[in-house]
Structure 1
Amino acid sequence: MGWLSHQTERERQALNQWVFHTYEVLLSLERVVGFLNEAELDHAEILFYGDLSRRASRETNIARAEILIYEIEQLVADNPRQGERVRELKRRLEARVAAMRQTEAAIESKGRAAGLRRFREHGLQARQAVLEALAVVEGEERLLLEERLRSVDRLAARNRVLIVIGYAAAFALLILGFGLIAQESVARLRAQREAEAYAREVEDLYNNAPCGYHSLDADGMFVRVNNTELSWLGYRREELVGRMKFSDLLTPASREKFQDSFPRFKEQGRVADLEFDLLRKDGSILPVSLSATAVRDSRGNFVMSRSTLFDLSARRQAEAERARLHEELQRRAVQLEATNRELESFTYSVSHDLRAPLRAIDGFSRILVEEYGDRLDEEGRRLLGIVTDNAFKMGRLIDDLLAFSRMGRKAIAWETLDMGALAREAVAEVRSQFRAEAEIEIAHMPPARGDRALLRQVWVNLISNALKYSSKREHPRVEIGARQEGAETAYYVKDNGVGFDMRHYDKLFGVFQRLHSHEEFSGTGVGLAIVQRIVTRHGGRVWAMAEVDRGAEFCFILPVKEALHDE
């Protein structure tokens, strides 16, 4: 009898160890949830507000969660099936972390819209997969906990029966039985206190999380709610739990959405990132994002929800501010467009009106040369030549100014263009104006979308510049081609000419701005301004790189997506 009682006590102590072991796993899982929620908050700040300072915090929380999952894997090593579930959780967490980093990479390389699209297409799915894996692991542990507690109770009952039988058998065994009972009571009390300590720690984590937690029964009634959510709403726990439904706190539009989504949630077992407007106790509105998983019993029946809420107030304010700024930007863009149209019209009118007096100056100068040239001395003919030359230069300036003005008014006729063929056409047009021995190399270039006439003018201006500023070299050389820069194609014209000082770069694309004197190289200073205007109107950008006496390279990019959108 004593041996049986002793064996029972040993089995009970072993089961108590397993109970403590299960509590430890459950606590670790709750801590994993906390760290992952923190990481998701950090990632949301990066994704929606571009706050890259949260990256280090996010990576720290992910690392803590991974360490805990590793510890959980060690704790459940005795249970192969549970071990496989934990390893599946690890794989899903790795996929979620990879999705986070890919989303960031998409933002950095392609912009925030691409990052948000990546988040919707991959990030949400990976995040929900992690939550589901956590729910499976936790559900198994809770089943194990229930079974082990029942086993402890059965052993305790059996032990008490053995003690009663021993009491009937002999007074000595009765004394021994009382000792075992006392020992069991002390051990059970110790186990209870340890379990209560674990429970308090888990409850503290639940109540003081940086997000709202609540659970709803099958009717949508609150059965649990944490302190964070209570503080957001302004209610006391006893006012919500068992007294109010989640739908009682919703605005009419959100209540309709909830009534439509809650039955599907109970059937499917999960929902992610549903947005609702909650009514606080003071009547103000709290916008939230809700994600939830279902808790089911051993027969698969819905027991309650496990819901997580994130406060969207800051995001809504940022969206409203963005909308206001966008509206202001559009208003100013309309004003700017009107001003530009007025300026272009003014420029065109002034340039056109200058032609008449200029023709008069040129015409009368020629009459003087033809009819009175023999009466003028050498100095008079020289001065008259200066007048004629400057009238010619003024005519070129007006022509270029009119061309520059027309660039802003001409509608873009979008088509797919062979950029190599366009460059060869431009070379054929301008080559005769420069030294025939200039070496021009045209590499293979991918096609582009744009206006044929306008982009041909870009090539003409850039190639003319390259030939002009390399014309004084013994062996002038011009290279024309394209290269990939990330997802974009950069077209370039490179020469071995005189180059320029990059300190004066800000003057390079200005109207009538020149970095070399007219005596060194002819020109009006409008060609590069026309290039910039054409490329900008196509939604692209243009830039240059140079060194004094080491040549220059001019590049431009035509973004395909923007061109197709405008079309």
Structure 2
Amino acid sequence: MLDTKLDLKKDQIALSFIDNLAGYAVITLDQSGTILDWNKGASDLFGFQKKEMIGKSLSKTSSLEDSKKELHSRIQKAATTGNVTHEWYRGKKDGSVFWAKSIMTKVFDEDDTCYLVEMVVDLSERKRSEEMLELAGEIAKVGGWEFNLVNNTLTWNKETKRIHEVEPDFVPDIVEGINFYKQGESRETIKQVVAQAIDDGTPYDEVLQLVTAKGNLVWVRAKGQAEHRNGTCIRIYGSFQEIYEQQRKEAELAKKSAALEEAQRLAKIGSWEWDTKTGQIQWSDEMYRILDIPENERVDHVNDFYPYVHPEDLEHVQSATAAAVETQIAIPLSYRILTKKGEVKYVNASGTQKFGEDGNPTKMIGTVQDVTEQTQLKNRLDTFWEYSQEMMCFAGMDGYFKKLNPMWQEVLGYSSEELCSKPFIEFVHPDDREATLREAAKLGEGAITVNFINRYQTRSGVYKWLRWSAGSDPYEQMLYATARDITQEIDDAWELKQYAKELEEKNKELEQFTYIASHDLQEPLRTLISMIEIFESQYVDHNSPEAMKVMDYITSSSQRMQGLIKGLLDYSRLGTKSERVKVNCQEIVQDVLDDLAKSINDSRAKIHVGELPIIKGHETELRLLFQNLIGNALKFTREGVVPVVKVHAEKKKDAWKFSVEDNGIGIEEKYYQRIFMIFQRTNSRAKFEGTGIGLAHAKKIVSLHGGEIWVNSNFGAGSEFSFKIPQQ
């Protein structure tokens, strides 16, 4: 309780600003209810002058007994609690009464003496307005209601309570309010529209049934709208009206009419009525929308409609109209119109004749539907059907073609009529018929066909290979399919297969020849070298420099020939006997470095090996690959430069990339491809010993693994050989 201390004098209250409040009565009392002060507003409101009221009881301000009792009760309550607000009838000096709102507050002066201050305002006009509104609601049987979402309270006025047949002091909640609606459609509808109003503010106007507290079933019209603040719904309020059968039917009819208009708008269907005797016509709103005619312009006569018909279709429409009048039968029409905006639209029109009680025709009614989008789509599909390079068809599940596009005749030579005249299976190659029937059966069960291949006979008797994609509509008992002539692809694939087979056989023959030739050449070469050694030891004058030079030349040439033959033999054997296994490249490279230890030490080379992976490959061949690349890096070095060799690997999307870098003599770009050919060497490498077969070995080994090898080089500064091995 909050006690307000005011600076009060003994015989007056220092509240001069309250004294001057127009229309408000301010009265100062002691705790017994005796008047101590009385402002001008109190004199104007009650009719008593200040001198008449000082020292009198506050109850003198009312001539009503119940009002006096109420005043006495409030004085006691204010003295106890400190603050009382109340609305009730109060009396005036002339005996009249008014509806008053009173706020009575307990205050203290500087000596802590307690006083009561009452402020009174006349609310009679507001009260009368509320009563008149309530009375109007009772007369019109329109109730009001409000659902406050802030404090979750539902309020009904008197008429709303009467419609629900509840007691005047009945206090509903939202669940009870909803449950008054008849279970089923009405209750579900009110739930949905209230939830929608709360969610996005959509107002509603529904005709529903509810069951009153006394069990009576009544029809009501419930209207509501929501109030949102800062994006949040704070209340829903509206009206509630009991409607009788005719009103209910009218409301339902209005609702159905609105629904019909909305359906016409969505379906782009306008309705019309035509008096065939007078020519007068009536259109629905959608007819005007279809023709883009403004709302302020009306079309009242059939002759006013004809200018909107496309000139090329006008004669046809007029002839059909005349025939309909003469025969009393409306013929469905499809034609084009020109809208008010000059746009061309396609429409479908239909109608029916209406007859009077005497049996004579009175009018025709019908519809016009805007089918522009459908027609344009159909025209595009027809064009696609006509000019498609695919063989497109519709077939029934009875085994007959129903419709085929022109590509069928172009591929097979038969006309559409010929192809549709007998079961399609008769055109299929006898060896493919069983598989074709199985595939058609799957389609009949709802499956989808993709990449099915069979052969169809042409008019000339030869067969074409077709690749099919198809679907079905079991309800319509139809198959929809496209086929493509892949005869040339099949022929090309067969020829390529034959070529590959021949190439493989020739490669095998060549490898066999290389092996045999290199193997058979070794024996006479070894004999020749032996005879040269015998000849040198027995017949050559070792004291003759010229003789020894010739013998050295013969010996080195023979040894080089022996190396070439051995390299050729090794080349032919690559990958012939080994299988792919897991290969630890780190270990293989280390083995290679161990084998090349003397060359590394002699050249003082610096070797850097990164982390290398385990891959699946031919172990012996991979070892030879690294040996050739690292060996070349140690061989082709620059004079006076310490060799530096780097070996590393990098994981790519679907392969491992290996690189061997050096700081040697480098390679000119024009030799990038040539160096991987057998027995090919560059000019800059001619002074170094070798057979020219090492990099050819490398390329064959990489190709054996399905990879590729290449080189990037800075001539005179070093090279980087890289190769990719696909991951297995």
Asked if TM exceeds 0.5, the reply is: yes
Q: What TM-score do the two structures reach when normalised by structure 2?
A: 0.46
1:425 pairs with 2:582: no
Whether 2:498 is the aligned partner of 1:310: answer: no
Tell me the secondary structure at the aligned position of residue 477 of structure 2.
strand
Residue of structure 1 aligned with 2:502, choices 304, 325, 331:
331
Query: Is 1:398 the equivalent of 2:562?
Result: yes
| Distance apart, 1:393 and its partner CA | 5.6
Give the counterpart of 1:353 among 511, 521, 524. Answer: 524
SS at match of 1:263: helix
Answer whether contact 1:535 1:556 (CA < 8 A) is retained. Answer: yes
2:398 maps to which of 219, 223, 248: 219
Residue 452 of structure 2: which of 251, 254, 274 is its match? 274
Asked if residue 407 in structure 1 is aligned to residue 542 in structure 2, the reply is no
- In the superposition, the TM-score normalised over structure 1's length comes to 0.58
RMSD: 4.3
User: Following TM superposition, by how much is the alpha carbon of 1:307 offset from its aligned partner in structure 2, in angstroms?
Assistant: 1.2
Give the secondary-structure state (helix, strand or coil) at the position aligned to 2:676.
coil
User: Which secondary structure does the structure 2 equivalent of 1:293 belong to?
Assistant: strand
**Cα distance in 1 between the residues matched to 2:465 and 2:371:** 40
Identical-residue share of aligned pairs (%): 18
- Superposition pairs of residues 48-63 of structure 1, within 5 angstroms: none
Q: Which moved more, 1:250-259 or 1:433-442?
A: 250-259
Alpha-carbon distance in 1 for matches of 2:402, 2:686: 88
Q: What CA distance in whole angstroms lies between the structure 1 residues aligned with 2:515 and 2:498?
A: 25
Which amino acid letter does the alignment assign opposite residue 164 of structure 1?
Answer: G
Relative to structure 1, is the Cα distance of residues 400 and 280 closer, same or farther in structure 2, using a 3 angstrom cutoff? closer
Amino acid at match of 2:585: M
Aligned to 1:508: 675
Residue in 1 that maps onto 2:31: none
Name the larger-Rg structure.
2
Partners of 2:415 and 2:671 in 1: CA distance:
68
2: CA distance, partners of 1:288 / 1:520: 63
Q: Alpha carbons of 1:393 and 1:429: their partners in 2 closer, same or farther (altered >3 Å)?
A: farther
* SS at 2:356 equivalent: helix
Equivalent residue number for residue 140 of structure 1: none
Alignment of 1:43-82 (within 5 A): none
Q: In 1, Cα distance between the equivalents of 2:374 and 2:535?
A: 109
Q: CA deviation at 1:418?
A: 1.4
AA of the residue aligned to 2:718: G
> Post-superposition shift, 1:397?
4.2
Shift of 1:451: 3.7
**Aligned AA for 1:214?**
C
Contact 1:294 1:304 in 2 (8 A): yes
Q: SS of the residue aligned with 1:268?
A: coil
User: How many Å apart are 1:466 and its aligned residue?
Assistant: 0.7
| Pair 1:164-2:356 in alignment | yes
Unmatched 5+ residue regions in structure 2? 1-249, 271-348
Higher helix fraction (1 or 2): 1
* Contact 1:491–1:556, Cα closer than 8 Å, also in 2: yes
Quick one: distance in 1 between partners of 2:625 and 2:589?
Answer: 9
Which secondary structure does the structure 2 equivalent of 1:413 belong to? coil
Q: Return the alpha-carbon distance in structure 2 between the equivalents of residues 339 and 200 of structure 1.
A: 63
Give per-residue Cα distances to partners, 1:268-293, cap 9 Å, x unaligned.
25433433433445544344333333
Contact 2:610–2:648 (CA<8 Å) still a contact in 1?
yes
Q: Which residue of structure 2 aligns with residue 288 of structure 1?
A: 466
Instruction: Please give the alpha-carbon distance, in whole angstroms, between the structure 2 residues aligned to 1:478 and 1:194.
Output: 75
Deviations 1:217-276 (A, max 9, x none): 3423444444444555555555565x5333343333443234333333222254334334
Distance change >3 Å, CA 550–CA 194, structure 1 → 2: closer
What is the letter of the counterpart of residue 596 of structure 2? V
Structure with the largest fraction of strand = 2
Q: Which amino acid aligns with 2:429?
A: T
What is the identity, as a one-letter code, of the residue corresponding to 2:562? Answer: I
Q: Displacement of 1:324 after TM fit?
A: 1.9
Cα 1:304–1:546 shift into 2, 3 Å: same
CA deviations over 1:137-196 (Å, ceiling 9, x no partner): xxxxxxxxxxxxxxx98xx66xx66x736x89xxxxx99x54xx3xx46x65xx599799
Alpha-carbon distance between aligned partners in 1 of 2:522 and 2:374, rounded to the nearest angstrom:
90
Residue identity matched to 1:291: S
Whole-Å separation in 1 of the counterparts to 2:693 and 2:418 = 75
Q: CA deviation at 1:408?
A: 1.1
1:319 aligned residue = 490
Change (3 A) 1:479 1:267: same
CA contact (8 A) 1:207 1:228 kept: no
Distance in 2, matches of 1:476 and 1:430, equals 14
Task: Look up the equivalent residue of 1:447 and give its one-letter code.
Answer: I
Q: How does 1:90-105 map to 2 (within 5 A)?
A: none
Aligned to 2:64: none
Q: How far apart are 1:478 and its partner, in Å?
A: 0.5
State yes or no: 1:387 paired with 2:554.
no
Higher RCO, 1 vs 2 (CA within 8 Å, ≥6 residues apart) = 1
Assess, with a 3 A threshold, how the Cα gap between structure 1 residues 368 and 500 changes in structure 2: closer, same or farther: farther
Q: Is the 8 A contact 2:666 2:717 kept in 1?
A: yes
Cα distance change of structure 1 residues 363 and 421 upon mapping to structure 2, 3 Å threshold: farther
Alignment-derived partner of residue 138 in structure 1: none
Count, aligned residues: 396
Q: Distance in 2 between the 1:498 and 1:260 partners?
A: 69
Bigger Cα displacement from structure 2, 430-439 vs 219-228: 219-228
SS in 1 for 2:659: strand
Q: For 1:557 and 1:285, how far apart are their aligned partners in 2?
A: 45
Separation (CA, whole Å) in 2 of partners of 1:526 and 1:194: 75
* Residue 332 of structure 1: how far off its partner (Å): 3.8
> Offset of 1:485 from its aligned partner?
4.7
> Which segment drifts farther, 532-541 or 261-270?
532-541
1:482 aligns with 2:649: yes
Match 1:201 to one of 372, 376, 379: 379
Q: Deviations over 1:398-425 (max 9, x none)?
A: 1343133133136332232211111111
Over 3 Å counting, the alpha-carbon distance change for 1:269 and 1:13 in structure 2 is farther
Gaps spanning 5+ residues in structure 1: where? 23-151, 169-173, 297-301, 562-567
Check conservation: 1:292, 1:305, Cα contact below 8 A: no
Contact between 2:443 and 2:479, CA under 8 Å: does it hold in 1?
A: no
Partner residue in 2 for 1:544: 711
1:111-260 to 2 correspondence within 5 Å?
164=356, 178=363, 181=364, 184=365, 188=368, 191=369, 201=379, 204-205=382-383, 207-210=385-388, 211-229=390-408, 232-237=411-416, 243-260=421-438
Residue type matched to 2:661 in 1? K
Change (3 A) 1:366 1:559: farther
Give the stretch that moved more between structures: 531-540 or 333-342: 531-540
